[in-house]
Amino acid sequence: MNTRNSCYTYFKINGNFHPDVVTELLQLTPEKTWKIGDLRPNGTKFDFAHWEIGRCTEYDVHVENQMRKTIAVLQDKISLLNQIRQEYDVRFFLVIVPYIYVDDINPCLAPSLDVMDFCCATNTEIDLDMYLHNAEKQLIFRYLREKAESLTIGADGDQNVKFLFASVMLGMLELIEKGKISNTDAAMVFALPIMRRTGEDTMMHRICSMVEELDTYPPTRRAEEIEKIRTFCYEMMADYSHTDNEKISFEIQHGVRML
C-alpha cells in the first residue's frame, strides 16, 4: 500500500539511574543511552538518565503491530523491569511518533490488548507524539525551501547562507512554539539543507543540535533553550545583514506565518 504516512515506535526508561545497570540486568543492548551529567550537543548537561530500545520504523497502518515489535524483546523481562522500577526513580514509556497526511489513509493508533497488558504489568506510560501534515502545508514548505536556497553564492556566499539559515530557523522556532511542526522538522527539513551549502560551521551545527534536543527538556527549560537559540540567530543575522538577504528573509517570515 502506497502512503506518505510514517511512524516510529520505541521503548525508553528515563530517570535517576545508571544505564549500564539496566543493560546488565536486562541482558539487552540498548540503542541509545546517556547518563546524568553527560553533555548535550549544546554544551549543557543532562539532568536525567536515558535508556532506549526497540525502535521500529517499518510503518504499518495498524500501528499496534509496530508497538508489538518494540516490546517483543521485553515481554520476558517484565519482572526485571518491575525490579528496576522499584529500586530506582524511573519512568517507562512506550513512545509512538506518527507523521500523518490528512488526505491519506488514517492509521489505526489504538494499542492492542496485549500491548496494554504489557503496559499495565510494567506501569509503562504510552506517549503519543503525533504530527499532522496537509497538501497546503507541503506547498508552503516547498516555497520556503526554494526561497531559502535562492540566494546568490558569490564572494560573500558563506555569509549569505548564514543569514538565511538564521532567518529560517527563527521562523521554525515560531512554528515549534505553536505546535505546528516538530523540532526534528525544523532541524532536518530546512536548516540542514541550507547549512550543507557552506559545509562545516560550528555555530550552525550547534544551533541545529540545540533544536534537535528540545524535546528532551521539561516545558520551562525548553522555553529557555528556544530563547537561547533565538539570541544566537539574531546575532548571526546582525553580522551578515544584506539588502537582498533581508528581502528573502521577509518573504520567508511571511510564508512561515501562513502555516
- SS3 of residue 19 by DSSP: helix
Phi-psi region of 230 (alpha: psi -120 to 50; beta: other; left: phi over 0): alpha
Domain count, the chain: 2
Q: Residue 65: inside a domain, yes or no? A: yes
Of 133, 153, 187, the domain-final residue? 133
* pTM for the structure as a whole: 0.60
pLDDT 10s digits, 64-108: 999 999 999 999 999 999 999 999 999 999 999 998 887 788 899
- Contact (Cβ atoms closer than 8 angstroms) between residue 202 and residue 210: no
- Complete DSSP assignment for 62-120: BTHHHHHHHHGGGGGGHHHHHHHHHHSEEEEEEEEEEEEETTSPPPB-PPPHHHHHHHH
Dist CA 124 CA 96 (whole Å): 13
Share of the chain above pLDDT 90, in %: 41
Query: Does 87 lie in the same domain as 149?
Result: no
Query: Does 189 lie in the same domain as 90?
Result: no
pLDDT 10s digits, 50-72: 999 999 999 999 999 999 999 99
- Say yes or no to pLDDT of 126 above 90: yes
Q: Residue 44: inside a domain, yes or no? A: yes
**Residue 181: which domain range?**
135-258
Q: Residue 18: inside a domain, yes or no? A: yes
User: Which of 175, 186, 206, 70 lies closest to 126, judged by CA?
Assistant: 70
